[in-house]
Amino acid sequence: MTRRAQHVAVIGMLVAWLTVTAFGAIGVQTSGPAPIETEAAVLLATLDDVEPALTRLLESARGYAVGGDAASREAFERALARFAEVRAAVERIPAGAKQREDGQLLEAVRALVPRIHLLALEIADGATPEKLALLGRLAEKTRTALDQLREAGELRARAAAEKIAGLAPRAPGSVVPDGAAVLLLAVACAISMALVSAWRCSQS
């Protein structure tokens, strides 16, 4: 192999390394959210629907028990229908979607929501003070579990943000990581030196 061919081969390898490095660095920066983050967002969106539907159900059940007229019955039935949709969404959450203490809280919500719905159906057939009191207790337990899930999520998000800030305290507009930038510069310098060497060989 001639010296010029050797230079061409070296330049080709350096260009290949440069291309791989550039695409790798850009890919790290432009990759989408991790599947676990997407799953967590969907889970939180589902759980956020529970408390408003629960509050509406509880208020309409009490109104129906006090009034018992057609208007309060209709409002209670609408709240029941909405809570049935929320129950279906909660029951679609896969088992094990959360781990450790979050998993216990989520399982508590998954168990309480269907129980509340069945109790509300019983109240629709005949409201009693005992059933209303039980509905209130179950609603309070559900709210407590939801509050703890939200607090745990906020703590994890804050810890993750602090960890990222500690590992990469650079300008947010930076596109290429520091290590990749140094490697790109080194490869670019090597290519330039190889080109200059090849040009000198062609002149000799």
Q: What CATH number does the domain containing 70 carry?
A: 1.20.120.1730
- How big is the chain, counted in residues? 204
* Count of structural domains, the chain: 2
What is the pLDDT, as a whole number, of residue 57? 97
* pLDDT at residue 25 is higher than 90: no
Alpha carbons 167 and 146: distance in angstroms, whole number = 32
According to DSSP, residue 94 is labeled: P
Q: What percent of the chain shows pLDDT beyond 70? A: 56
**Strand, helix or coil for residue 196:** helix
- The two tokens of residue 91 are 């029951």
In contact, 53 and 80? CB cutoff 8 Å: no
Mean pLDDT of the region 137-157: 88
* pLDDT at residue 56 is higher than 90: yes
- Mark out the alpha helices in the chain (DSSP H runs): 3-30, 35-48, 50-67, 70-91, 100-125, 129-167, 178-203
What is the pLDDT, as a whole number, of residue 7? 59
With bands split at pLDDT 50, 70 and 90, how would you rate the model's confidence at 171?
Answer: very low
State CA 197 to chain mean position distance. Answer: 53
Question: Are 21 and 70 contained in the same domain?
Answer: no
- Domain extent for 184: 3-30+176-203
Question: Are 46 and 22 contained in the same domain?
Answer: no
Question: Are 43 and 102 contained in the same domain?
Answer: yes
Question: Are 67 and 150 contained in the same domain?
Answer: yes
Question: Are 120 and 185 contained in the same domain?
Answer: no
Question: Are 14 and 39 contained in the same domain?
Answer: no
Q: Decide which of 85 and 152 is more confident.
A: 85
Mean pLDDT of the region 167-181: 53
According to DSSP, residue 92 is labeled: T
With bands split at pLDDT 50, 70 and 90, how would you rate the model's confidence at 37?
Answer: low
